[in-house]
Every structure is written in C-alpha cells, then in structure tokens.
Amino acid sequence: MEIGNNKVVSLTYELRETNETGDLIQKVEQDRPFVYLFGIGGLLPKFEKSLAGLKTGNTFSFSLTPEEAYGNFDKNAIVELPKNIFEEDGVIEDGLLNIGNQITMQDNHGNPTDGIVLEVTDKTVKMDFNHPLAGRNLHFTGEILEVREASTEEMQHGHVHGAHGHHH
C-alpha cells in the first residue's frame, strides 16, 4: 500500500542539520515510531510530498531548506517584554524565567506561540519567538514501517488512534 491521503503512516527517522552526516537533531526509533495521518496538513508540505507514494519497507533521504521547513531566522522575532507580564498575583514563579526556558505565550491574535528566554533584567525579559529550527537546512533519513488505511473515526477526528497515536 502506498502513502497517500487518508493513510496512516508509521516511520522511523533521523533528523540532522544540513545533510546525512550533520549534527543529529532528533532520532525516532522503531520502538516508538512517528505515526501520523497523511494529507491532513499537519506536517511540513515538502516533508509529506517527499514521502508520498512510498511503501512499507521503503527508505527515504531528503533535505529541506529553511523556506521549505520552519522559515528563515527573523531577528524581529526577538523581543523585549516587560518583566511584570510574567507575574501571577504579583509574583513570578521560581524558575520560570531561567535562560533557555521555553514559555508558551499568546500572539496579538490570541494564538499560542512558544518563546525561549534569552536574557532577564530587572525590568525586561528578552525572548526569541523563532521556531527552534528556523534558518536551518534539515536532512531526514528513515524507513517506512507501515502504511494502512485510516479508519472512519481517525479521518473524522483528523488524527491517528491506538498504538503510538492519540487515545481518547
């Protein structure tokens, strides 16, 4: 069975920076594969396009430019915020504003957005709202473990159910 719309795909992969010998960013192994519903728009479009038509047992190797992945690094996504917005009842939770912490906030439209704490002063917090992989060339290698038809319920819900998928 080929990967295509309304198919549940299980795969392993290594994600490296730049090429197949670049720094390892993430590794997904067979005991906890990546399982997703193909064609619902939840993944990077070029990632899905690169897997379309593959079958169980096929291997893959492809690269994504920053434009095809998470965009270029945007220096305007680094912002200084007033420190007091992190207060709850006049107090900032211990450890919240540690350098390197990821904090989920809301953008101007109320959408959740993650930022990384870069610097903290007495009055401000500098945060980076770029995706952690923004500006990076990415290279994926892996293997398709299984391709199956999605159930009616999975298609209605827009995600995989069961082993390694979403559970209700």
Distance CA 57, CA 3 (A): 12
Q: Residue 154: helix, strand or coil by DSSP?
A: helix
Q: Which pLDDT value is given to residue 155? A: 86
Pick the CATH number of 75-128 from 3.40.50.10860, 2.40.10.330, 2.40.30.260, 2.60.40.60: 2.40.10.330
Given a cut of 90, whether residue 49 has pLDDT beyond it is: yes
Cα angle 128, 90, 105; round to 5: 25
The model carries a pTM of 0.82
CB atoms within 10 A of CB 138: 24
- pLDDT tens digits, 96-137: 999 999 999 998 899 999 999 999 999 999 999 999 999 999
Given a cut of 80, whether residue 162 has pLDDT beyond it is: no
Residue 145, token pair as written in the block: 């473990």
Name 45's Cβ contacts closer than 8 Å, sequence gap at least 6: 68
CB atoms within 10 A of CB 154: 19
Task: Kindly list the domain boundaries of the chain, sorted by start residue.
Answer: 7-69+134-157, 75-128
Q: State the pLDDT confidence band at 51, using cuts at 50, 70 and 90.
A: very high
CATH topology of domain 7-69+134-157: Chitinase A; domain 3 (3.10.50)
Alpha helix positions (H), 120-163? 152-157
Distance CA 160, CA 168 (A): 11
Q: Which pLDDT value is given to residue 167? A: 44
